[in-house]
Amino acid sequence: MGEAVLAMATADPRRDYLACEAHVPGVANLLVGLADAGPGNVRVAAGDALELLRRWVPAGTLAAVHAFFPDPWPKARHHKRRLLRPDRLAFLASRLAVGGTLHVATDWAPYAQEILAAVAAEPTLANTCDGFAPRPAHRPVTKFEERAAAAGRAALDVVAVRR
């Protein structure tokens, strides 16, 4: 819904942010937040993030990719829709500059394990921790994280850097 990017962009005004969201109400909420005295360092794109990256973002140019609580698509028949599958992870890594950061947070433990395994198998990425990372202080708490905590699910972070 845009709260995380607003908080991060406000806290780090010297960094530019490109927020991409397929969920139209999330885009609208972010645009309203930006209009209401939001930071000027955010650009918003509506649609598929992977398509945006394919068409408009050259390889090796991003300082970071943040994916906080992406849809886990828990049903096995829907796993093909997951953002952080191994083939897609390699593509995302290709858009990072050397030393760039991939930061993923999810409350869906099986998905978190798959992401961790995909990061370990991707030769262009190095996990910054032995396993899951402690929650970085700069990552805002999202409503999805609050809902997960209320349901007894822990948020799990994976932080990797591009080699």
Please identify every residue annotated as catalytic.
71
- The torsion angles phi and psi of 90, rounded to 5 degrees, stand at -60, -40
Q: How is the beta sheet containing 96-106 ordered, strand by strand?
A: 62-68, 96-106, 156-162, 125-127
Taking the CB of residue 5, how many other CB atoms lie within 10 A of it?
25
128 with 120: CB under 8 angstroms? no
> How, if at all, do strands 42-46 and 156-162 pair?
unpaired
Torsion sign across C-alpha atoms 28, 155, 71, 95: positive
Residue listed under structure tokens 């262009």:
124
Residues near 25 by beta carbon (within 8 Å), at least 6 away in sequence: 1
Q: What is d(CA 15, CA 36) in angstroms, rounded to the nearest whole number?
A: 20
